[in-house]
Structure 1
Amino acid sequence: MRLIQCVHQGQVRAALVESEEQVRLLDCDTYTLANRAISAGQPMSDAVTAAMADTRLDYQALVDDKRLLPPLTHPDPAHCLVTGTGLTHLGSADTRSAMHAQSQKQAQAAEEDMTDSMRMFKLGVEGGKPNAGETGAQPEWFYKGDGQCVMAPEAEIPSPAFAQDAGEEPELAGLYVIGEEGLPWRVGYAIGNEFSDHVTERFNYLWLAHSKLRACSFGPELLIGELPAHLEGTSSIQRNGEILWKKPFLTGEANMAHSLANLEYHHFKYPGFRRPGDVHVHFFGTATLSFADNIKVREGDRFEICINEFGRPLRNSLRIETDTPAVTVKAL
């Protein structure tokens, strides 16, 4: 079962994807629907069935009219927290090493000779999938922003004028709502473009935090239910209607050093991330970047990320901002 969100008659509404051509409108948005399911103690799929309206909409028309929204949003963007984890996939250390111009042999090097990135990756491989009841290794973690940094599917992703790079990151994202008792509830999963500044990160890994404070996108469809362990996708960049770069990627737990449960635990173990009513979007990492293949994107390039199990691809074009707003701090 897959959902989208769209603008219909001036309101945010969720809709069930019935086919590639048609969606069936629900009587509320996804956030309201998730809270109904939590309150009723029922699966999200049951809440969807109960909320179905008779109205059906043309899916392509929603795309063409720019009425698609991220599949889960909060009425107040400040109460949507966007975060992620890195070095989680079995190929991610090689990608990170290539990006930082380091030898891949470091993965087998003596502990004292390893970079921090390689050491973190090794921790995940050895302890990222703990047995039930055990606590696994902590992953690399980062903060991207609140709901204001999320761009809708088919919309432009802005890159600030001070950025040194504007690169895609094809990932899975977990979408969550925190219940009234402070318990995280996973609504489902979506394709994500985590989008980062890899040149800034490459200069010094301590600038990772800066490199992640960028816009992102996820959707257009939210997958409800169990996530397949093995997923195969394609990430591509188009320029002037032609393919500039295209590469397959693997995700899902079978291709990860960490279990999703371990990544979720190490995020939600902090009380500040269990504030009732909040929405969380958490990116699970990737091992495939065009930047690692020396691709330099330009204004107007279009990113497209596709995983068949998630329906329509996530597509966004790049907009490079030309001005950096003057920021001054005044004393009171």
Structure 2
Amino acid sequence: MLLSQFSRVDGTPQIVARDGPEAYEVKTDLSLYALAMECIEMGQGLRDRIASLGMGVAVDLDALYAKRRLLPPVTHPDPAHLHLTGTGLTHLGSASTRADMHKKTTGDETDSMKMFRMGVEGGKPANGTAGVQPEWFYKGNGTVLTFPGAPLVSPDFAEDGGEEPEIAGIYLIAPDGTPVRLGWALANEFSDHVMERRNYLYLAHSKLRPAALGPELLIGDLPDHIEGTSRVYRDGTVLFEKPFLSGEANMSHSFANLEHHHFKYPLFRQPGDLHIHMFGTATLSFADGVQTRDGDIFEIEATPFGLPLRNQLAFTPLGKPEPCTEIRSL
């Protein structure tokens, strides 16, 4: 089942569900966040709860997308309690791109390659034990979550704005502190690869950018093998197009291991918080020499996730001096 939300005329979210090509309003006034909290309290799954509520009128998701009325499939009523985070070097093939960016003149193995090899050797532990921890990064809170179809805004001090086609897990923390996975969605993790290439210690800076979440939430199990396509359009034509693979069959870590190493911190198990955790990629247009420009359109699609994720880049040209932030004394 795929779940989505659109903005009603009064601005409140309406949940939409579909199991095939036809989409229907779910008979509820609740947001998906509120409905999920209700499901946790009732001990009922999302699919069963939606079935009990019933379906209303049919919905044209493509038309709503064109009108920019589609919302992320789930949001938090308080953006400060939504966490955008991710892991890197998790996909087979991802190390070569990163290693090229951080190549050492001595020819020694890069730290990125060492981290990747650690994941290959210990990222899928058996018997429910914890494996090697992955690279982890923070992107921001709900204030930087970009809606499907909305611009991805690169700050004026950025050196680049590049797409990263990923799968994200969406989690709600139950009242007892247990992370509950609501489902999976496409994501554009959107980073500053020029800054990252300058020095890998700038990775944390390069990730402090907006991120976009796909229009539809896949509930239930994620396929082990996922094939998708990442595109960059410029002036109406395809500038870049490349397939990407995801799912555990194409990863050096298991999802269980990646989830453990995020939620092992009590900080990320605060009741009521919402987490969007992105699981990495091996495909970047930047790695193929693409320099994005203001107005380029990113498109990420993969069959299990329904509608593609599209966002236009809003990028301030380089050369503008970085403003100095003014601090006021109290």
**SS of equivalent residue, structure 1 residue 144:** strand
Q: 2-side partners of 1:293 and 1:16: how far apart? A: 37
Task: Show the 5 A alignment for 1:256-267.
Answer: 256-267=251-262
Residues 17 and 24, structure 1, Cα contact 8 Å, conserved in 2:
no
Q: 1-side partners of 2:289 and 2:53: how far apart? A: 47
- The structure-2 alpha-carbon separation of the partners of 1:22 and 1:41, relative to structure 1 and needing over 3 Å to count, comes to closer
Q: 2-side partners of 1:50 and 1:298: how far apart? A: 48
- Equivalent residue letter for 1:306: E
Task: Show the 5 A alignment for 1:301-312.
Answer: 301-312=296-307
Q: 2-side partners of 1:63 and 1:5: how far apart? A: 11
Partner of 1:99 in structure 2? 101
Q: 1-side partners of 2:293 and 2:86: how far apart? A: 25
Partner of 1:55 in structure 2? 57
Residues 170 and 286, structure 1, Cα contact 8 Å, conserved in 2:
yes
Deviation at 1:81, TM superposition (A): 0.4
Partner of 1:291 in structure 2? 286
Residues 103 and 110, structure 2, Cα contact 8 Å, conserved in 1:
no
Q: 2-side partners of 1:21 and 1:299: how far apart? A: 35
Work out which of the residue numbers 70, 74, 77 in structure 2 matches 1:75.
Answer: 77
Task: Show the 5 A alignment for 1:147-226.
Answer: 147-226=142-221
Deviation at 1:97, TM superposition (A): 1.7
- The structure-2 alpha-carbon separation of the partners of 1:221 and 1:24, relative to structure 1 and needing over 3 Å to count, comes to same
Deviation at 1:56, TM superposition (A): 2.3
Work out which of the residue numbers 288, 305, 314 in structure 2 matches 1:319.
Answer: 314
Residues 86 and 280, structure 2, Cα contact 8 Å, conserved in 1:
yes
Instruction: In structure 1, list runs of 5 or more residues that go unmatched.
Output: 107-112
- Equivalent residue letter for 1:93: A
Deviation at 1:320, TM superposition (A): 1.4
Residues 20 and 312, structure 1, Cα contact 8 Å, conserved in 2:
no
Residues 164 and 283, structure 2, Cα contact 8 Å, conserved in 1:
yes
Partner of 1:109 in structure 2? none
Instruction: In structure 2, list runs of 5 or more residues that go unmatched.
Output: none
Partner of 1:131 in structure 2? 126
- Equivalent residue letter for 1:100: H
- Equivalent residue letter for 2:32: T
1:222-263 per-residue CA deviation (whole Å, 9 max, x = no partner) reads 000000000000000001110000000100000000000000
- Equivalent residue letter for 2:329: A
If the length of structure 1 is used for normalisation, what is the TM-score?
0.94
Deviation at 1:20, TM superposition (A): 4.0
**SS of equivalent residue, structure 2 residue 216:** strand
Partner of 1:89 in structure 2? 91
Aligned positions, number: 325
Task: Show the 5 A alignment for 1:28-43.
Answer: 28-43=30-45
Deviation at 1:326, TM superposition (A): 5.4
Q: 2-side partners of 1:314 and 1:98: how far apart? A: 28
Residues 179 and 277, structure 1, Cα contact 8 Å, conserved in 2:
yes
Q: 2-side partners of 1:116 and 1:326: how far apart? A: 32
Deviation at 1:101, TM superposition (A): 4.4
Q: 1-side partners of 2:53 and 2:70: how far apart? A: 19
- The structure-2 alpha-carbon separation of the partners of 1:12 and 1:325, relative to structure 1 and needing over 3 Å to count, comes to farther
- Aligned identity (percent) is 54
Deviation at 1:90, TM superposition (A): 0.7
- The structure-2 alpha-carbon separation of the partners of 1:182 and 1:233, relative to structure 1 and needing over 3 Å to count, comes to same
Partner of 2:24 in structure 1? 23
Q: 2-side partners of 1:7 and 1:245: how far apart? A: 32
Deviation at 1:26, TM superposition (A): 4.1
Work out which of the residue numbers 270, 274, 281 in structure 1 matches 2:276.
Answer: 281
Partner of 1:14 in structure 2? 15
Residues 294 and 316, structure 2, Cα contact 8 Å, conserved in 1:
no
Q: 1-side partners of 2:324 and 2:15: how far apart? A: 39
Say which is worse superposed, 76-85 or 12-21, in terms of deviation: 12-21
Residues 86 and 285, structure 1, Cα contact 8 Å, conserved in 2:
yes
- Equivalent residue letter for 1:200: M
Q: 2-side partners of 1:171 and 1:84: how far apart? A: 10
Deviation at 1:133, TM superposition (A): 2.6
Partner of 1:328 in structure 2? 326
- Equivalent residue letter for 1:161: D
If the length of structure 2 is used for normalisation, what is the TM-score?
0.94
Deviation at 1:17, TM superposition (A): 2.6
1:138-176 per-residue CA deviation (whole Å, 9 max, x = no partner) reads 000000000011110011100001000100000000001
Deviation at 1:59, TM superposition (A): 1.4
Deviation at 1:36, TM superposition (A): 1.6
- Equivalent residue letter for 2:136: W
- Equivalent residue letter for 2:326: T
Residues 146 and 210, structure 2, Cα contact 8 Å, conserved in 1:
yes
Q: 2-side partners of 1:177 and 1:118: how far apart? A: 33
- Equivalent residue letter for 1:25: V
**SS of equivalent residue, structure 1 residue 48:** helix
